[in-house]
Structure 1
Amino acid sequence: MSHTQHAVKFFLLTGEPGVGKTTLTKKLNSILNDRGIKTSGFYTEEVRCSLLWIKQGYDVVSLDGIRGRLAREVSLLPEPINFKFGKYGVLVQEFEKIALPTLLQLKDPVMIIDEIGKMEFYSNSFKLAIREIFRSKSDIIVLATIPLRSSDSLIESIRHDARSKVWTVTRANRNTIHEDILKELASLLNLV
């Protein structure tokens, strides 16, 4: 029996849609930054109509604050769209313009990727970048969100990688789970 143990370097958050994965990701990013740990990457954010609070789509936002459209309700888009996810048209080029540069700068100790999912995977360039990041031998720690269920072989290989630890976010634990995740991150990042 082998005694070699793979060190966890991929922290994966999963859970039902709307449970708070992005909120948790932003919270962890903020705490790491407050402790002097530099991060790079992006998150996705719901976009709602301010009057009726109706969801209109999603934006992609880099950690340095650059924002672009990821998806919009098809009825709100003036041009025909090549990629659709439910009622949303996915704006692949706008997404790539914001997300891809954040994945190429492998200089910060922690990379945040919210989210590795079906909409984002309409971008072949994004999918290739994700494959490279998770194959990489670098010391970078990845904090990413993935769908609870997926039939995508790349997402499943990431989920089952020996270096991955999957945290399921629920309504019951979403306000406290960050403490457990931070404990594990702290030991890897030599935080006190």
Structure 2
Amino acid sequence: MASKTYKYFILTGEPGVGKTTLTKKLVAEIVSKGIKTSGFYTEEVRYDRTREGFDVVGLDGARGRLARDQSLLNIPVKYKVGKYGVLVEEFEIIALPSLVKPNNTQAHLLVIDEIGKMEFFSEKFKNAIQTIFSPSSEYTVLATIPIRKSDKLIESIRNHSQAKVWTVTRENRNSIQEEIVNEINKTIRF
């Protein structure tokens, strides 16, 4: 019996466990095998070991602010998560164009780090995620989601029949990369 292949490769885990670091390592390995990638990751912004917020960074190198400690913002923000004000428009400028799949037939991996509460303040982003994870989608995706149950759409991704989910922990974060690459290789031959 042939092993099941998946379209969606999902990482979850506690905040700060290393999901983004693992995502970056996976992308570097996949790109080194000649596979095209697009998408974005989120990165902590720290100053003197204090977290000031998060940036959204496109795989093409474009960078913008996703969220900042409200005490550092000189503009009012509509959306907040804890002490952070979410900068939806700045996020959309980087994130939305990065979600476009190339028109050619070359193998491609879409990277979305992360699909979470801050990002979902953008209705445009949420709509794009619904399309990407729809039954007619032609995307192959590597994404991260929060470990805690939250939004209905995030839960539908976690439980999608074509999704393989890994829970990243401090114990396994340095040892599961090969397993994930092997699973992706079943879908995108490299």
TM-score bracket, shorter-length normalisation = over 0.9
- One-letter identity of the residue aligned with 1:68: G
- The match for 1:159 is 158
Moved more, 131-140 or 78-87: 131-140
1:184 aligns with 2:180: no
8 Å contact kept, 2:101–2:108 = no
Partner secondary structure for residue 186 of structure 1? helix
Is the aligned partner of 1:145 residue 2:144?
Answer: yes
- Asked if residue 111 in structure 1 is aligned to residue 110 in structure 2, the reply is yes
The answer as to whether partners of 1:110 and 1:141 remain within 8 angstroms in 2 is yes
Q: How does 1:33-182 map to 2 (within 5 A)?
A: 33-49=31-47, 52-107=48-103, 109-135=108-134, 137-182=136-181
**Partners in 2 of 1:104 and 1:38 — Cα distance?**
12
Secondary structure, in 3 states, of the residue corresponding to 1:75?
A: helix
CA contact (8 A) 2:5 2:186 kept: no
Change (3 A) 1:157 1:138: closer
Q: Shift in Å at residue 189 of structure 1?
A: 1.5
The whole-number CA distance in structure 2 between the counterparts of 1:129 and 1:9 is: 16
Kindly state the Cα deviation for residue 138 of structure 1 after the two structures are TM-superposed.
4.0
Q: CA deviation at 1:136?
A: 5.0
Give the CA RMSD over aligned residues: 1.7
Residue 173 of structure 1 aligns with an amino acid whose one-letter code is N
What TM-score does the superposition give when structure 1 sets the normalisation length?
0.93
* CA distance in structure 2 between the partners assigned to 1:100 and 1:28 by the alignment: 22
Are 2:22 and 1:24 equivalent residues in the alignment?
yes
- How many corresponding residue pairs? 187
Kindly state the Cα deviation for residue 104 of structure 1 after the two structures are TM-superposed. Answer: 2.5
Aligned 8 A contact 2:92 2:122 in 1: yes
Task: Give the superposition deviation at 1:68.
Answer: 0.2
Query: Whole-Å Cα distance in 2 between the matches of residues 76 and 136 of structure 1?
Result: 42
Q: Is the deviation greater in 177-186 or in 130-139?
A: 130-139
Tell me the distance in 2 between the aligned counterparts of 1:165 and 1:131.
Answer: 18
What SS does the aligned partner of 2:131 have?
helix
Paired letter, 1:43: Y
SS of residue matched to 2:34: coil
**1:159-183 deviations in whole A, cap 9, x for unaligned?**
1110011100000000011110011
SS at match of 1:32: helix
Q: Which runs of 4+ in 1 moved over 2 A?
A: 104-108, 136-140
Name the SS of the counterpart of 1:135 in structure 2.
coil
Gap runs ≥5 in structure 1: none
For 2:183 and 2:164, the matched residues in 1 are separated by: 10
| Unmatched tracts of structure 2, length 5 or more | none
Shift, 1:7, TM fit: 3.5
Q: Bigger shift: 137-146 or 70-79?
A: 137-146
Residues of 1 paired with 2:114 and 2:38: CA distance?
A: 14
